Amino acid sequence: MKIIHSDILSFPLYENQSFLVSKYQRLTRRIIAAGLASPDELLTPAEATLAQITRVHDPDYVDRLLKGQLSDHEIREVGLPWSPQIIERARRTAAATVETCRWALQQGVALHLGGGTHHAFSDRAKGFCWLNDCAIAAQAMIAEGLASRVLILDCDVHQGDGTAAIFRDAPNVFTFSIHGCTSYPYHRQPGDLDIDLPADAGTTAYLEALEKGLETALDRFQPELVIYLAGADVYEDDRFGCLALSREGIAQRDRMVLSRFAEFRIPVAVTLAGGYARLIEEAVEIHMQTARIAFEFHRSGYC
């Protein structure tokens, strides 16, 4: 299975920042130590091109983003400081999800050790997200003729509001987000399928709702590719989460998703999305668990 790694840069953050940047480096070390990939096998793509980005994002917004001309209000909406390095990271993240989709189409399942920046709208950044990597990847696959119907399955605890807004009324992309009803963002954007779960829903209720949602999505839309946001922030001890899934419950979620699409031989590009556990090692362990499960399916002859 191909593993794509985009977080090769260190970049400045405000002190006490909630964004757990170091988890990506720790996860990469765990991946290598576990023998899932050697350093030479981790793919590190170049930055997403302007052509790829502007299929999704407004050219004026992109120009101001690259030049560091966003207003103070726009920067506050992101919650991260602007720098050339952090924008390079955002572009590499988008390129990595594009590559993950390409490899998934070839091998059945592929993994990006990052991604899932689903709060970025076409014309603005928001909620730690400068560019919407999954939207950019979906449009790239369609533009390149590699897939004509893409399902974006968002299992982050937060609704993928930017993704839903970008693909509103788009016939070739279906957005399905299952999230906590009390979680950010507090103004929702309607997607093709949204499941709002109550706070502290727990593993059983979550998995039941997800299973029904997957059936509905497959009934309404026949995807040729799935981009899966495997958020770790549904965890019971996540600082920003509210759904209270156990670690084993998250493993059951990942297996449910991959087995459902494997049944129909539909490729899945996995991104890791959010994860803000009170103990950073728990966030890393949940992401590592997702990586192991993806490997299990790849080794079983997914497609």
Q: Any idea where the domains of the chain sit in the sequence?
A: 21-299
Alpha-carbon distance 91 to 72, whole Å? 21
Length of the chain: 303
Tokens matching residue 270: 């996995």
Q: Which CATH number fits domain 21-299: 3.40.800.20, 3.10.310.70, 3.40.50.300, 1.10.1530.10?
A: 3.40.800.20
pLDDT at 288: 96
Alpha-carbon distance 98 to 199, whole Å? 33
Q: List, for residues 112-147, the tens digit of each pLDDT value.
A: 999 999 999 999 999 999 999 999 999 999 999 999
Residues 6+ apart with CB under 8 A from 61: 122, 123, 124
Q: How many CB atoms lie under 10 A from the CB of residue 100?
A: 32
DSSP 3-state assignment of 135? helix
Four-residue CA torsion sign, 197, 181, 101, 35: negative
Q: List, for residues 8-66, the tens digit of each pLDDT value.
A: 655 555 434 556 677 888 899 999 999 888 888 888 889 999 999 999 999 999 999 99
Q: Residue 151: in which H helix or E strand, if any?
A: strand 150-154
Looking at per-residue pLDDT, the higher value among 301 and 48 belongs to 48
From the list 36, 23, 255, the residue with the least C-alpha distance to 128 is: 23
* Geometric angle at alpha carbon 27, from 25 and 30, rounded to 5°: 115
* Geometric angle at alpha carbon 52, from 48 and 54, rounded to 5°: 115
Over pLDDT 70: what percentage of the chain? 94
Looking at per-residue pLDDT, the higher value among 40 and 180 belongs to 180
The answer to whether 129 and 119 have CB atoms below 8 angstroms apart is yes
The answer to whether 285 and 92 have CB atoms below 8 angstroms apart is no
The answer to whether 9 and 25 have CB atoms below 8 angstroms apart is no
* Geometric angle at alpha carbon 21, from 101 and 161, rounded to 5°: 55
262 vs 104, 297, 299, CA distance in Å? 12, 8, 12
CA dihedral 225, 231, 236, 237 (to 10 degrees): 170
pLDDT at 303: 60
- What pTM does this model have? 0.95
* Residue entry with tokens 């991959």: 258
